[in-house]
Amino acid sequence: MKKVILKCKLSSREKFEDKLSDIDLDFSAIYWQHDRVYLPRGYKPGVNLPRMIMRTEMKSVDKPPQYTLILRRHIEDSDIDVIEETSVKDYQSVVNIILQLGFKLAGEVSRRRQDLKMGEGTYIYLDKIDGKPGHYAKIESTLSAGESSIEAKSDLKKTFETLGETNFVNKPYIEIQ
């Protein structure tokens, strides 16, 4: 699946939520996600190599966690993310496979997340990253066949600007200091 993704560090979480609430859009309840990010040996930014992410997600304390394996490749020249996800039942076995394929653990990211569906294939996520100051918002839009990534990215940027946010972040959460 091809996606265009734009992140922004929020100037004020409350103002951001209020602006969306004013147009009758409200975020889901807060849930927890933890990502372990694996990179192939010889990984360098800008080379279009894939990352593997093992995600643990807990939406409710009275339900078991959900595990997802995510293959993510950022294509620099088109600014598209190619993302494939699959549910996992045996977390440890999949991690062993990832390691045997030559990937190494690069880091971990935990966050408290809320989501909001904006339309078909478009979501806004409100994130509080553990150990990082402030809050982040991320808009992901799935590209349909023939849709321009440049136009889609421009639309996402306009959405943030309409909501009063312009502090765009081009790095993955794991690379944010």
Per-residue model confidence as pLDDT tens digits over 86-137: 999 999 999 999 999 999 999 999 999 999 998 888 999 999 999 999 999 9
What structural domains does the chain harbor?
Answer: 2-175 (2.40.320.10)
**Model confidence over 38-82: pLDDT tens digits?**
999 888 877 788 999 999 999 998 999 999 999 999 887 778 889
Single out the residue of 12, 36, 11, 38 nearest to residue 104, CA to CA: 38
* pTM for the whole structure: 0.89
Cβ atoms of 58 and 65 within 8 Å: the answer is: yes
Q: Give the whole-angstrom CA distance, residue 31 versus residue 120.
A: 22
